[in-house]
A and B are shown apart, each in its own frame.
Chain A
Amino acid sequence: MLPTENPTSSPLSDSPKFHQSNLDSIISSLVTFLDSPSFSISSSFDRVLDNLLSSCDVSVQDQLVDRTLERLSLLLQSTKRCSQKLATLHNSISWFLPSELTVMVFLMVDTKSLMQASTCCTMFNKCAMDPLCYSHIDLTKAFKLADDRVLHTLLNRSGKQLRSLKLGRVDAPGSLFRSSCLPPLIHYRNSASRSLKLDRDAPSPGYFFTRSCLDPLKLTGNLLTSLHIYFLGFMNMDSLLDSLSACSNLTDLKIVGVNVLLEPILELLARKCCLIEHLFLDNCNQGMITYPTIKLFVTNCLKITSLTLLDFRLNDAMAQILVTGFRILKYINLSNTAGITGSFLRDLGHRSNDSPLQTLILRDCFSLQEREVVEFLNSLIAGNVRSIRYIDVSSNNGLACDGDRRTSKPNFTLEKLKEERLDITFVADFPSIRPSY
């Protein structure tokens, strides 16, 4: 029989007869007694409280009400906590992998899906915060909301594990637009909340990354091996160069739709990122390039196997250094280089066996001469450049001939080439030249 309380007397718990076990039994009874059709709980609560309140002084009534509310609030919170613990336990039974192995699974999930998973339950959230999960950060699939702050957060989470990073928008509509140096204005959402401050670090119109968004790489970039940047518009060159100089282990660099200047980038790679193997730069800003820099690049970056430089101000002499200077270069793409006539191909054509080059792409090179290509083909037919497998000289403007003429039906001896060098795929598409005006 439980001692009942007289609301006007001193608190029950002061009585020497009231132990913790009594309190426990009260709580236990409240929670465990079963519903029954003989009495309604809600009207019982009403009745008891009414009785208690009516039988005590006004001064005590408020106390009683407050105390009841407080106790029941505590009971509610406690119930929720216990319920959460049960849910956590249930989860650990449904998903019984230990956290190290859960992290290995999360490693294979792309960054965006990983964020979705992290809001599923506390266990997933904890595993999703492991730095290993952020070794390959790809923000290109969520370009609409990714900004500096997001990048910063993810880079922080990656700790020392960052190995590859991709940002920007891969398929920006302007990607087909070759000669413009301004990124197209793309309006995503109403960015009124991101007020465009007119200072050096303001985001380029339509993009949420600022000009120095890669600054955090100065701290975390030293084990980064791959960096792809797409259409971030105007970047602060100093900031970009500083960030890149911290990435001494970079092997794969791709920059498209950003105002890179070739000269400082090549110089930086030659001095700080000598392990580079794949370089892809799609130009958005014409800039001057010097021979010393190209030579330094070729001398220092011995591991280059693939090189793509689109729409830069290179001439034949520079192209020659690039095509023949690297020891293990397999792939080169110098499309949209208006300054080359193809005379550099002579040197390439005279090398019999020592060039490892497999792919040569010179699409839309306006000044590329028909006779240079013909001479090159002849040296291939004669058996030179044994390693080459794929050549592309297609152009929307045909090839240049003597004087100012152009041809869309050049004099290529393709049958002979097929005969002698079946291993070579030669692509030369020249849609009919439209008359220029």
Chain B
Amino acid sequence: MSSKMIVLMSSDGQSFEVEEAVAIQSQTIAHMVEDDCVADGIPLANVESKILVKVIEYCKKYHVDEANPISEEDLNKWDEKFMDLEQSTIFELILAANYLNIKSLFDLTCQTVADMIKGKTPEEIRSTFNIENDFTPEEEEAVRKENQWAFE
């Protein structure tokens, strides 16, 4: 049984052939398929090839195959390995998942970053994300005081 293929074109000119059923996990692409404007391929001006490769990898994994069901536990482990990436790549994935409107990937990527924030002190958070303290001393004092209860 042949499956319909779509061509996705990254911002840096690379083309990727993907099954339509896999690609329409992206609501953005699904709408374009409905509107029938995919004949010449879909240009994705906001997604570069390095990121598009990861997105396609994710969509392929999550394209549920009735014959080979995957347990939730296995999927979670796969997710963990999948998200073992550099920070900037994770951010790029958030942007791509948002642009392509793939809810599960968006939630996974945001949750990964949220988990990197949870339970950390401000110094640790700054260190994790390479952020500098750009408050004036007065501003910082005021913000701390307002949220004093969280710093027990």
- A87 contacts chain B at the CB level, 8 A cutoff: yes
- A91 contacts chain B at the CB level, 8 A cutoff: yes
Determine how close the nearest CB of chain B comes to the CB of A418; give it in whole angstroms.
29
- A286 contacts chain B at the CB level, 8 A cutoff: no
- A109 contacts chain B at the CB level, 8 A cutoff: yes
Collect the chain B residues with CB atoms within 8 Å of residue A104's CB.
106, 110
Cβ < 8 Å to A, chain B residues 75-96 = 88, 91, 94-95
Q: Which of A13-21, A143-151, A383-391 lies at the interface? A: A143-151
Question: Who on chain A is nearest to B98 by CB?
Answer: A101
Determine how close the nearest CB of chain B comes to the CB of A421; give it in whole angstroms.
29
- B125 contacts chain A at the CB level, 8 A cutoff: yes
Determine how close the nearest CB of chain B comes to the CB of A107; give it in whole angstroms.
8
Cα–Cα distance between A118 and B143 once the two chains are bound (Å): 8
- A41 contacts chain B at the CB level, 8 A cutoff: no
Collect the chain B residues with CB atoms within 8 Å of residue A115's CB.
147, 149-151
Task: Assess the B130–A87 pair: CB atoms within 8 A.
Answer: no
Cα–Cα distance between A106 and B120 once the two chains are bound (Å): 14
Task: Assess the B149–A145 pair: CB atoms within 8 A.
Answer: yes
Collect the chain A residues with CB atoms within 8 Å of residue B94's CB.
97, 101, 105
- B34 contacts chain A at the CB level, 8 A cutoff: no
Determine how close the nearest CB of chain B comes to the CB of A96; give it in whole angstroms.
6
Cα–Cα distance between A118 and B129 once the two chains are bound (Å): 14
- B7 contacts chain A at the CB level, 8 A cutoff: no
Collect the chain A residues with CB atoms within 8 Å of residue B149's CB.
115, 142, 145-147, 150
Cα–Cα distance between A110 and B115 once the two chains are bound (Å): 10
- A413 contacts chain B at the CB level, 8 A cutoff: no
State which size class the interface on A falls in: 35 or more
Cα–Cα distance between A233 and B45 once the two chains are bound (Å): 58
- B35 contacts chain A at the CB level, 8 A cutoff: no
Q: Which of A119-127, A365-373, A424-432 lies at the interface? A: A119-127
Determine how close the nearest CB of chain A comes to the CB of B62; give it in whole angstroms.
20
Collect the chain A residues with CB atoms within 8 Å of residue B120's CB.
113, 116
Determine how close the nearest CB of chain B comes to the CB of A308; give it in whole angstroms.
28
Task: Assess the B118–A110 pair: CB atoms within 8 A.
Answer: yes
Task: Assess the B91–A121 pair: CB atoms within 8 A.
Answer: no
- B68 contacts chain A at the CB level, 8 A cutoff: no
Cα–Cα distance between A153 and B143 once the two chains are bound (Å): 13
A-B contact count (CB 8 A): 105
- A88 contacts chain B at the CB level, 8 A cutoff: yes
Task: Assess the A113–B118 pair: CB atoms within 8 A.
Answer: yes
- B3 contacts chain A at the CB level, 8 A cutoff: no
- A112 contacts chain B at the CB level, 8 A cutoff: yes
- A94 contacts chain B at the CB level, 8 A cutoff: yes
Task: Assess the A120–B146 pair: CB atoms within 8 A.
Answer: no
**Also in contact, A91 and B143, with CB within 8 A (given A109-B114, A147-B149):** no
Question: Who on chain A is nearest to B124 by CB?
Answer: A116
State which size class the interface on B falls in: 35 or more
Question: Who on chain A is nearest to B133 by CB?
Answer: A121
- A95 contacts chain B at the CB level, 8 A cutoff: yes
- A117 contacts chain B at the CB level, 8 A cutoff: yes
Task: Assess the B152–A106 pair: CB atoms within 8 A.
Answer: no
Collect the chain B residues with CB atoms within 8 Å of residue A145's CB.
148-150, 152
- A67 contacts chain B at the CB level, 8 A cutoff: no
Cβ < 8 Å to A, chain B residues 117-152 = 117-122, 125-126, 129-136, 139-140, 143-144, 146-152
- B56 contacts chain A at the CB level, 8 A cutoff: no
Cα–Cα distance between A105 and B126 once the two chains are bound (Å): 16
- B30 contacts chain A at the CB level, 8 A cutoff: no
Cα–Cα distance between A116 and B106 once the two chains are bound (Å): 24
Cα–Cα distance between A140 and B139 once the two chains are bound (Å): 28
- B113 contacts chain A at the CB level, 8 A cutoff: yes
- B111 contacts chain A at the CB level, 8 A cutoff: yes
Task: Assess the B119–A118 pair: CB atoms within 8 A.
Answer: no
Determine how close the nearest CB of chain B comes to the CB of A338; give it in whole angstroms.
40
- A191 contacts chain B at the CB level, 8 A cutoff: no
**Also in contact, A87 and B113, with CB within 8 A (given A113-B118, A119-B143, A142-B152):** no
Task: Assess the A121–B150 pair: CB atoms within 8 A.
Answer: no
Cα–Cα distance between A150 and B132 once the two chains are bound (Å): 27
Collect the chain B residues with CB atoms within 8 Å of residue A87's CB.
132-134
Task: Assess the A118–B125 pair: CB atoms within 8 A.
Answer: no
Question: Who on chain B is nearest to A83 by CB?
Answer: B134
Cα–Cα distance between A146 and B23 once the two chains are bound (Å): 47
Cβ < 8 Å to B, chain A residues 198-213 = none
Collect the chain A residues with CB atoms within 8 Å of residue B106's CB.
104
Task: Assess the A97–B131 pair: CB atoms within 8 A.
Answer: no
**Also in contact, A120 and B126, with CB within 8 A (given A95-B131, A101-B94, A145-B152):** yes
- A84 contacts chain B at the CB level, 8 A cutoff: yes
Residues of A participating in the B interface, judged by any CB pair closer than 8 Å = 80, 84-85, 87-88, 90-91, 94-97, 101, 104-113, 115-122, 124-125, 142, 144-147, 150, 153
The 7 closest A-B pairs by CB, nearest first: A115-B150, A108-B114, A87-B134, A145-B149, A87-B132, A115-B147, A94-B130
What would be 28 A-B contacts, judged by CB atoms less than 8 Å apart? A84-B136, A87-B134, A88-B134, A90-B131, A91-B131, A91-B132, A91-B134, A95-B131, A96-B91, A97-B91, A104-B106, A106-B114, A108-B110, A109-B117, A110-B118, A113-B120, A115-B151, A116-B120, A116-B121, A116-B151, A121-B131, A122-B135, A125-B143, A142-B149, A145-B148, A145-B150, A146-B149, A150-B149
